[in-house]
Structure 1
Amino acid sequence: MHRMELDAYFDEYQRSSRWTELAESLLGESVHCHGAEWFNKPPGSTSPTPPHQDNYYFCLAPPKVLTMWLALDEIDEENGCLRYQPGSHRFGVRDHAATQTSGFSQAVADYTEEEIQREVLACVSPGDLLIHHGDTIHRADVNRSATRHRRSFAMVFQAASCQRDESAFERYALQRKKQQHELGIA
């Protein structure tokens, strides 16, 4: 679910000093929240989350943006834990290509088997908070569990100095429009 901040509760929640102070301490300046999102991979889901970088979608420069991802369930390899590419935030946003995955229209175009072997798995318990930089490559497998959901709540914070890179956003918007046309939804 996207655009949860349209609800008064979540609008207030995302502006809580608990979250903004943490984001400000990590980004080194004042921040604002893009909004709140809820994710769910139900038992037996068939869609993996492709390797991607959040800032490919946001197109922010400088890339002082982070995602706070709060686990709502016990999350492990079986039900699709996040998998991070260590150090990938240091190299900028890579080329992405269209996917067929609902909610994740783009994926890192040249993600390699060697990178898959270097991934760090983030197995977490309810209430654990994962925080990653907007340029960090991450992904998740399908939920192979027969009974367990993989639910999480996420908020994206950007530093006040960030501005949208209009040329990068235009490239992304054109790619998205082309993909929607090919899928017959535009």
Structure 2
Amino acid sequence: MTTLTAPDLTGYKTVLESEIKSFKENGHVMIPGVLDSNEVSYYRDAINKAAITYNTEKRKLEDRDTYGKAFLQITNLWEVDENVKNFSLAKRFGKIAADLLGVENVRIYHDQALYKEPGGGFTPWHQDQYYWPVDTDKTITMWMPLIDIDSEMGMLTFASGSHQSGFIENVPISDESEIMLQKFVNEKGYKIARAETMNAGDATWHYGWTLHSAPGNKSTDVVREVMTIIFVADGAKITEPQNKHQEADRQRWMAGSPAGELFASILNPVIL
């Protein structure tokens, strides 16, 4: 049962020094209880309704490639739904992102619902920032399950410390990235880390350069419902795109702003 009034997410949550230290060393951290049960229940309903409305993937699971089998991806729901806007532009999330990055303010890059269907495939190793034409490594992704999940449902998996290598391979999420980046992980001997369980409203946070992946969803009847938000430190500038995906991002998520300009388009409001 959800409340009739959208829960206020302006209240800050204290980030522990130990969490900041772990994030900087490992490139990722899990922070429990970012949302309470009432908050996550309300926003789960809102996000699910918006995701169903704006999902454009109509192919059967077996007819998709590796990327398509990994998850249903519905982006920038905050643009089209007022309740999702309250969620994605929440000061609570922005403050956690800023505290972990050690900056004063952050701007949103975009949000995306990532729903891994029952039987959905694995998510290959990749770096998020491969897609982002920005001149800073002060970037961070929040990954929040909207239901309780366990490691059998496609838990996010990290190569701890990999963010320190920066850009690794000019390759998008694909079978190719899985092969190339798995080899890199093996050669470097990174510790592989993933939570066994996460409650709805917990959230992991990782740098844009942190290598990560996820196994498939072994559940036969439960969708892994996850909402993500990407933040970039305020003051970053747009760089010349290095691949077609960065150019597509520049056009879509930066409102076509040219290289050299501040990352501050109408689609990238400051959160704090």
Please confirm whether the aligned pair reaches a TM-score higher than 0.5, indicating the same fold: yes
Alignment counterpart, residue 122 of structure 1, candidates 190, 195, 213: 195
SS across alignment from 1:119: strand
Indicate the structure with greater helix content: 2
Structure 1 residue runs of 5 or longer lacking an equivalent are 177-186
Please tell me the root mean square deviation across aligned C-alpha atoms, in Å.
2.6
Q: Distance in 1 between matches of 2:92 and 2:117?
A: 29
Q: Give per-residue Cα distances to partners, 1:93-127, cap 9 Å, x unaligned.
A: 110435557xxx96673422726883111231211
- Map 1:9-158 → 2, pairs under 5 A: 9-27=83-101, 28-45=103-120, 47-98=121-172, 100=174, 109-112=180-183, 114=186, 118-123=191-196, 124-158=198-232
Q: Distance in 2 between matches of 1:40 and 1:108?
A: 24
- Aligned letter for 1:86? S
Q: Give per-residue Cα distances to partners, 1:63-89, cap 9 Å, x unaligned.
A: 111001111122222111111000011
Structure 2 residue runs of 5 or longer lacking an equivalent are 1-73, 249-272
Structure 2 contact 131–246 (Cα < 8 Å) conserved:
no
SS across alignment from 2:107: strand
Q: How far off is 1:170 after superposition?
A: 3.1
Q: Distance in 1 between matches of 2:92 and 2:153?
A: 29
The runs of 4+ residues in structure 1 deviating greater than 6 Å are none
Q: Distance in 1 between matches of 2:225 and 2:169?
A: 28
Structure 1 contact 84–122 (Cα < 8 Å) conserved:
no
- Aligned letter for 1:33? I
Q: Compare 85-94 and 109-118 and name the one that shifted more.
A: 109-118
- Aligned letter for 1:41? K
Q: Distance in 1 between matches of 2:160 and 2:195?
A: 12
Identity, in percent, stands at 26
Q: Give per-residue Cα distances to partners, 1:143-174, cap 9 Å, x unaligned.
A: 112122211111111001322221xx233448
Distance 1:117 1:133, change over 3 A: closer
Partner of 2:37: none
Distance 1:108 1:100, change over 3 A: closer
Give the structure with higher Rg (CA).
2
Q: Distance in 1 between matches of 2:132 and 2:181?
A: 20
Indicate the structure with greater strand content: 1
Q: Distance in 2 between matches of 1:108 and 1:64?
A: 27
Distance 1:53 1:108, change over 3 A: farther
- Aligned letter for 2:166? G
Q: Distance in 1 between matches of 2:174 and 2:217?
A: 17
Q: Using CA pairs below 8 Å that are at least 6 residues apart, which structure has the higher relative contact order?
A: 1
- Aligned letter for 2:75? H
- Between Structure 1 and Structure 2, how many residues are aligned? 170
- Aligned letter for 2:113? W
Q: Distance in 2 between matches of 1:174 and 1:72?
A: 29
